[in-house]
Amino acid sequence: MTIAFGNPDRPNSYIGKTVPRPNAPRLVQGRGRFVDDITLPRMAHVAFVRSPYAHARIGGIDAAAAKAVKGVLRVFTGADIAEVCTPWVAVLAHLKGLKSPPQHALATDRATWVGEPVAAVLATTRAAAEEAASLVEVAYEALPVVTDMMSALDETTPVIHPDLGDNLAFRRLHDEGDVEGAFAGAHAVVSARFRTARHTGVTLEPRSILVDWNPAEGQLVAWHATQAPHMMQTVLAKHLALPESRVRVICGDVGGSYGIKVHVYPDEVATAAIAKIMGRPVKFVADRLESFTTDIHARDHIVDARLAVDEAGRILAFDVDDWTAIGPYSVYPRTSAIEGNQVVNLCGGPYDFANYRARTTVVFQNKTPTCQYRAVGHPIAVAITEGLVDMAAAELGMDPVEIRRRNLYADDAYPATSPAKMRFEGLSHHASLDKLVALMDYDALRADQAAARKRGVHRGIGIASFIELTNPSPFMYGIGGARISAQDGCTVRMDPDGSVVALSGVTEQGQGTEAMLAQIVAEGVGVSPSEVRVVTGDTQVTPYGGGTWASRGAGIGGEAALQAARALRDSILEVAAAMLQSEPGRLDIRAGAVVDPDTGEERLSLAELGRIVYFRGDTLPKGLPRELVQTRHFITSEYPFAFTNGVQASYLEVDVETGVVTLLKHWCVEDCGRIVNPQLVDEQIRGGIVQGLGGALYEEIHYDEEGQLLNGSMADYLVPMAAETPDMIVGHVETPTKESLLGAKGAGEAGTAGAPAAVMNAINDALRPLGAQVTEMPFTPERILRALGAIED
Amino acid sequence: MTEIVRDRIDVALTVNGEPVEARVPAGQHLIDFLRLELGLTGAHASCEHGVCGACTIRVDGDAVRGCLMLAAQADGAEVWTVEGLTDTGEIADLQAAFVARNALQCGFCTPGMLVAAQELLARGGAPSRGEIREHLSGNYCRCTGYEAIVDAVEAVAMARAGAAAQEGGGGA
Ligand code: FES
Ligand code: FES
């Protein structure tokens, strides 16, 4: 099939255009329906009693005072929940050696991080549940705490889970070519220790779930703020011993996810278990402290890395030693080894070089569990790679743009396989870099920088090329044994009035999934996007799918929608041809009507066709198929992952007296393949960039040595606010994937992947004449002043 | 604490132009009263700490944090939420600009953001981008990166200033 997406004058040309989001008017009017907005008859509220210790044995639980609070219905211990809910073990077979102990919804004998749920109180109001939870007396016996990452494997460090033998969760070494030889023969070697801080997602809507078990129907319904409703259906069914067919997960409006809401959380499973025990609806909405101590954390890495180059600045070898600590459990079911694994997969990603060694060491500790968060592993790998490349350029006296030009994969080098064994179908590093240099007017910016320097103002330019992994195949989770779908489906049907309904397995968290699907279906069928209603987020209604993560909404869900829409078009034309005594090939559908493709003349409106098919089927030929509904599922099969690429630049000013960094401007040119909706893509990039800027400048979860989280509030864990955020210029190169008709690769994470490295390089560009360098994020005023030697102790 | 929570207080106020009389727990926050008792779920609770602005509503003409004010303190007050401001059409242009510019993604921050932005816009004139950013710097948005929000508010400010100039300018 050929659809000339590149031709803006084609009929029904909605793909590639900015089309408004159908759900936006609802949200600006305050008519959203988030989980906490839902109230059901007999609904009760659960609040959790959480461990104040990072590691402690749980003794007796005295709930007498809690039970005395008016409105309290029941208090549950770990043992109570374990009677109806089995524990889980978060390992994947293809991540060899990954280990993790069984985890219960409520801790049974030991608490292993501050915030782990150990008991639950159910009450008729949230206020009563919270008050009573504070009155539950748990006898804790403190146990030795492991907080430090680098000493977690030392002989003298206590082992958190004695049954596992040590604190090592996972280790992987990838060794390609002759790394030692390359370093021995190098013209120059640069090295550094990089550190990315522990982050969390801080979704504005806290984690939320409302579960109703209806014993009369034998059905469990969960209204859940999640990115993966079908995965949650499977998980709830399995651990509550229900048939999958008797669990329905509904995902309405979700107030931000970024990867936070794609995991299985013990308190949410406990909520479902309690609903099942009580036979009535139970709601759990995390408060903000709970969000900080129990939403997954991420990015806590220390990396020693070095880079060898020849005298022309050609990259000879990367050598990377990555360490990360993931808390006491690998998180179910995606596991907490993926982030470190991604660092191994992605370092050096944009560059054509031969010798590569990377090792990741993933250890247990007594802090909040970490897992996949927007751009999983990418910000770390990009910071390491791009930091070293800039250091090499400085060492050689070479311009940062020039050293990249000499090493990026040529735009005609594809297909290519990286030394990390990642397979690239088609990328556009040089075209993207050229576009970026033009967009930012690189030479003029250098001149401005030099002029500022003369005034004693220290400005810096930072560049960061990157690749981004999207559209995962079953190689990501499925081959490891997890029931996480890499395929996705879409059902498209025409109703009697000629309007179209699309049911999709991918979900909406604000990216604009529903708008993207509406315009694809509109183009595929031949109707206006306003004639398409999109339904997502209901396991009982939509085709089975993986949901929304790894930037797969457009690439996988969009392709399924396009194929289903095209199939529906064919069905409609078959009926139309019979009605018009024509042939399907001599008819087209445009703007909701069957037309003559040459003249555009209307032959039959879809509403009239619908009237005949649904109400006067007697007038149609016998045996004519009347199914005005089609379903298609899509999965990638040629490549384990799609890759996108891009390059970002930051221009900023460092106040060397105060250490404060002011972001002046930010640029990103990226190649997400086919762009379905330019505005939505640009805003995904911008939002992603700002999350990356947060990691570069502000965000860091602090713990003390006892494993107490020190900054668990929005006032203390800083994220970018409107006043500090720069304007961002976004440009595109389009290299569609050939794996699909649509050609979309995904755009949700590119911004976050590259922004921290661009900022780091810009700060170091500003500081270099002063002999200072920073590689430990976030780049707080204190760290910058230390690098400058202005603070010493 | 427990006693304070148990105490109940009679309040009479107007919410979105309608009279409301209720008996509220003394410790109940205004945002919870609006959401739980009146079903006005447009404004959201997020940090419950006065930091994020998701709960921003208008009380006696000012944009305030619904999570910091007690329902009992709203006795006699005039309260507007995004639902009421939608019904009156007061922020229709701002809402349209947010949609056109995609100045919302998940939309969780949006009702509070709109009330805060309208407070700035109601002062008249055409605030600079810097002033808009400054004014909204108490409203947290994790999705958009703020630029689209600033664009939308700026566009409305310019459109309103233009309309005001035309009205006031007459034939000049
Ligand atoms: S919920 Fe009120 S300011 Fe955050
Ligand atoms: S749109 Fe999601 S927090 Fe602002």
Task: Report CA-CA distances (Å) from A710 to A301, A367, A716, B115, B156.
Answer: 19, 12, 9, 32, 41
Q: Nearest ligand, CA of residue B30?
A: 1
The CATH number for B115's domain is 1.10.150.120
pLDDT at A2 > cutoff 60: no
Report yes or no: A553 and A563 within 8 Å, Cβ to Cβ: no
Let me know whether B80 and B142 are in one domain: no
Angle at A605 between CA A600 and CA A609, to 5 degrees: 130
CB atoms inside a 10 Å sphere around CB A771: 9
B29 lines ligand 1 (CB under 6 A): no
pLDDT at A4 > cutoff 50: yes
Helices B147-169 and B110-121: angle between axes, nearest 10 degrees: 30
C-alpha A59 – ligand 1 centre gap (Å): 37
Q: What is the pLDDT of residues A408-421, one digit of tens each?
A: 999 999 999 999 99
> For residue B165, what pLDDT is reported?
85
Is the omega angle on the peptide bond into residue A415 within 30 degrees of 0, that is, cis?
A: yes
User: Closest-CA residue in chain B for A689?
Assistant: B145
Residue B172: inside a domain? no
pLDDT band at A793 (very low <50, low <70, confident <90, very high): confident
Residue B135: inside a domain? yes
Number of H helices, E strands in chain A: 19, 30
Positive or negative torsion for Cα A611, A616, A621, A627: positive
Q: Where are the domains of chain A?
A: 24-32+487-634, 35-143+204-294, 299-474+638-787
User: CB–CB of B147 and A32 under 8 A?
Assistant: no
The CATH number for B74's domain is 3.10.20.30
pLDDT at B169 > cutoff 60: no
pLDDT at B171 > cutoff 70: no
Domain boundary, last residue among B38, B60, B84: B84
Question: How far, in Å, CA of A563 to CA of A634, rounded?
Answer: 8
B149 lines ligand 2 (CB under 6 A): no
* Residue A296: strand, helix, or coil: coil
> For residue A7, what pLDDT is reported?
86
Let me know whether B18 and B50 are in one domain: yes
Longest dimension (CA), chain B: 66
Let me know whether B152 and B116 are in one domain: yes
Question: How far, in Å, CA of A174 to CA of A273, rounded?
Answer: 42
Which amino acid would we find at residue A220? L
Q: For the domain A35-143+204-294, what is the CATH superfamily, name and number?
A: Aldehyde oxidase/xanthine dehydrogenase, a/b hammerhead (3.90.1170.50)
Domain A24-32+487-634 is of which CATH architecture? 2-Layer Sandwich (3.30)
Q: What is the pLDDT of residues A446-477, one digit of tens each?
A: 999 999 999 999 999 999 999 999 999 999 99
B109 lines ligand 2 (CB under 6 A): yes
Q: What is the pLDDT of residues A219-231, one digit of tens each?
A: 999 999 999 999 9
CA distance B10 to chain A (A): 19
pLDDT band at B5 (very low <50, low <70, confident <90, very high): low
Domain boundary, last residue among B84, B117, B139: B84
CA distance A136 to chain B (A): 15
> For residue B172, what pLDDT is reported?
40
Is A299-474+638-787 the same fold as A24-32+487-634? yes
Domain boundary, last residue among B44, B63, B84: B84
Which of A248, A253, A201, A199 is closest to A226 using CA atoms? Answer: A253
pLDDT at A487 > cutoff 70: yes
Residue B29: inside a domain? yes
Residue B152: inside a domain? yes
Q: What is the pLDDT of residues A98-121, one digit of tens each?
A: 999 999 999 999 999 999 999 999
Helix (H) or strand (E) holding B158: helix B147-169
Which of A761, A31, A497, A67 is closest to B84 using CA atoms? Answer: A31
pLDDT at A620 > cutoff 50: yes
**Token duo for residue A108:** 């049974």
Write out the residue range of the structural domain in which residue B115 sits: 91-167
Let me know whether B121 and B76 are in one domain: no
B24 lines ligand 1 (CB under 6 A): no
Tokens 């890759």, residue located: A643
Number of domains chain B is built from: 2
Domain A299-474+638-787 is of which CATH architecture? 2-Layer Sandwich (3.30)
Q: Nearest ligand, CA of residue A291?
A: 1
Task: Give the mean model confidence (pLDDT) for residues A604-620.
Answer: 98
Let me know whether B100 and B145 are in one domain: yes
pLDDT at B1 > cutoff 50: no
Residue among B82, B98, B108 minimizing CB distance to A255:
B108
pLDDT at B4 > cutoff 60: no
Question: How far, in Å, CA of B117 to CA of A709, rounded?
Answer: 34
> For residue A1, what pLDDT is reported?
45
Task: Give the mean model confidence (pLDDT) for residues A726-742.
Answer: 97
Question: How many pairs of residues across A and B have Cβ atoms under 8 Å apart?
Answer: 178
The ipTM estimated for the assembled molecules is 0.97
Task: Give the mean model confidence (pLDDT) for residues A385-405.
Answer: 98
